[in-house]
Structure 1
Amino acid sequence: MVSIFVNWLLVALTLVSVSPSEFGAARRATIKRIPSQVATGDIQAFSTSNQAGLDAPRLSAVNASSFNWWYFDAFSPDLDKSLVVVFFTTLGSAFPFVPTSEVVTQVEIYATFPTAPSPATSGDFVGSGAKFQGAPDLSTYSISVDSPANGISNTIPDAEGTVDFTIFGSRLKFSGAAYHDQNWGDAPFPTTVASWYWGHARLGPYALVWFSYLPRAGPERVSSYIAHDDGTVLAAGCTADAVRVRPTGQYPPTQRSGYPSGFRVDFRLADGRTLNVTVRAESLIADAGAVYGRWMGGVEGRLDGGRMITRGKALFEQYVMVA
């Protein structure tokens, strides 16, 4: 497998969100155009869903110490192909994983091919025409990139994704598990985050999402989601006992800990049962050294100590900001 990374700088990012009216029937569209220039002065971060809709921007503006991004991914059942697209509104001063630039509107694409694509170089393009569009009921999202050169809101915890991209002349086409969320903050990421574990998986009839965030100060914060393939949601919460995520090796981690070989994820369902899952880090698909890694890998687990469920698949990541 070979992974490639491409970054674009956008002139502006225009977002259209749709929310119910006060009577819950008609819907109205709200359009917000986020300029590429950084704002000066204080801004406001919205911690709850507002009238603009669940997936609307969570910042009143983007200054040098804030970040907001919309994340989309999909991976193939055989784990040899994946696509991750992230629409950022931030600067490197707030989120140091984006390329250094004075432009706050950026798009990053990470693609994993089963074999090496045609030789190419990556670059930055202004006015690239990259966009995403969601249906009013959030049932589908469409992502397109029209370029000749080429806080957490869990909006779509599990979906069927269809990918058909041509990147540097090589076609990436597959169907598989897909996911979408939004993240934001009003303070620089490295000053607030010590470690961060997130992932989503399919295991037997279950769709899983886990998130564990250890802040620089204060207790661990978590959230989880489990749904059966019949549509029943078995867990969706952010209480302290909702999920426990631990890497193989040292916890809390530091940048000297190295990458883990996997994770143990223990979920508590709404009815009190437990789902204990082991996730294996098999394919490293994004690598920023000691501070960040993203993987695909296998999953197995037991529901309330019952039979072992095997052959699950996952895509997951970690940030480690403590030296």
Structure 2
Amino acid sequence: MLLPPSSSLYVNSTVQVDTTVGCEAYDRPYIPSQNSTTYEWWYFDAVSADGRSSVVLIPFSGPIVGSHYPQFLLQIVTPEGEIFNQLIEYGPKGIMYVSTIGDGSSGVIGDGDFVWVGKPDLGKYDLKVDLERYNVTGTVTLISAADPFVLCDEIGPGAATSDFWFLNWINLMGDAVAVVDLKVGDERVAFTGNGYHDKNWGPVHFRQYIHHWYWGHGRAGDYSVVWYKMVTYFGTIKSGAWVSKGGQTVVSACVEDNSVDVVPFGNNVTIPPNRPNDTNNIEGFNIAINGGEEGDLYVFVFEENVWTSGYAGTYARWIGNLTGGRIGGEWGSGVGVTEQMGPFVGPS
């Protein structure tokens, strides 16, 4: 499937939003034609093995942080702790192409500002940044260490993402080996570490429905982990977690109770968050997962090294250290990335 330039992508009418993931390529565009409310993005990140450097790359369309035309969001944390944030909006003549071979996607946004090439089996993604006007260039390579999955459903031909229809989510790389070689101005940001790739899409902006959302991923020893907790304005709580050990999935849970819980900690942390970006006093997150086939309990602790404020104060992101494992078993340590989105303003 191929997305044409945005001038022919955008339509002033109702559009089809696909929520069945297994009938075509997993990493395909799920909204081939966009209107003024729909959105879709491909998310990639990498964090260094010491948990102090990172890169996040998000090509997307839709009014998530700007207009409904193609945009590219880039964030880099350097080894010295400097933070580079850049949002590029391409306007009605902006170009964003996405094609698929097998289950993998390849795409380009702008005049080659960001290019990604995915293998048909989702085993590897090669990313290239060429933003000379912002003095940022280089490459990121992600080599998968986990099978794709859909939270709240089994991956396969009939898998669906419609559990929360306003925020569809498929995970293409829950964990990956990352090799990063970027140049930011005169500084080189080069590291190996953990990588990740997922994608989201929906018919309307999720801020109308979600009060706040915790999400993150990481690696702790032999464990690869993805977690989230979503709280809506209508009193619904949905949490989920995916845990893999040595490449084998041991937990894939989607619940509406506290059997999967994500709780921030720190000095005077407010739960639930009471204002946008009420985050710089958060020191980490406790993640408890009771969802193993044998009723096992898994506990992970994320401790932040670097806090970054997200776009327009609507989310925050941390990179840091992750420790944990199965209660009664051997624990491991590593690094991860986590976010708080919201609280948003709610229904209008």
* TM-score of the pair, normalised by structure 2: 0.74
SS of aligned partner of 1:149: helix
1:136 to 120, 123, 126: 120
Task: Tell whether 2:73 aligns with 1:108.
Answer: yes
SS of aligned partner of 2:132: coil
Instruction: Give matches, 1:52-131, under 5 Å.
Output: 52-91=24-63, 95=64, 98=65, 100-101=66-67, 104-115=69-80, 127-129=110-112, 130-131=114-115
Task: Tell whether 2:308 aligns with 1:292.
Answer: no
CA distance, structure 2, for counterparts of residue 290 and residue 121 of structure 1: 15
Q: CA deviation at 1:291?
A: 2.7
SS of aligned partner of 1:238: strand
Question: How many positions carry a matched residue from both structures?
Answer: 285
SS of aligned partner of 1:251: coil
Q: CA deviation at 1:123?
A: 6.3
Task: Tell whether 2:243 aligns with 1:226.
Answer: yes
Amino acid at match of 1:255: R
Q: Which runs of 5+ in 1 are unaligned?
A: 1-29
Partner residue of 1:197?
A: 214
CA deviation vs aligned residue, 1:44-64 (integer Å, no higher than 9, x gap): 222220533111112242222
Partner residue of 2:274?
A: 254
CA deviation vs aligned residue, 1:263-293 (integer Å, no higher than 9, x gap): 1111122331011122223311344475311
Give the 3 Å change call, closer, same or farther, for CA 139–256 of structure 1 in structure 2.
closer
CA deviation vs aligned residue, 1:30-80 (integer Å, no higher than 9, x gap): 333352563211122222205331111122422221111110000111122
What fraction of aligned residue pairs are identical, expressed as a percent? 27
Amino acid at match of 1:300: T
Greater CA deviation, 120-129 or 70-79? 120-129
Q: Judge conservation of contact 1:128–1:146 (CA < 8 Å) in 2.
A: no
SS of aligned partner of 2:207: helix
Consecutive aligned runs of 4 or more in structure 1 exceeding 4 Å deviation: 116-126
Partner residue of 1:158?
A: 175
Give the 3 Å change call, closer, same or farther, for CA 238–33 of structure 1 in structure 2.
farther
CA distance, structure 1, for counterparts of residue 83 and residue 322 of structure 2: 32
Q: Judge conservation of contact 1:254–1:320 (CA < 8 Å) in 2.
A: no
CA distance, structure 2, for counterparts of residue 54 and residue 119 of structure 1: 31
CA distance, structure 1, for counterparts of residue 215 and residue 274 of structure 2: 17
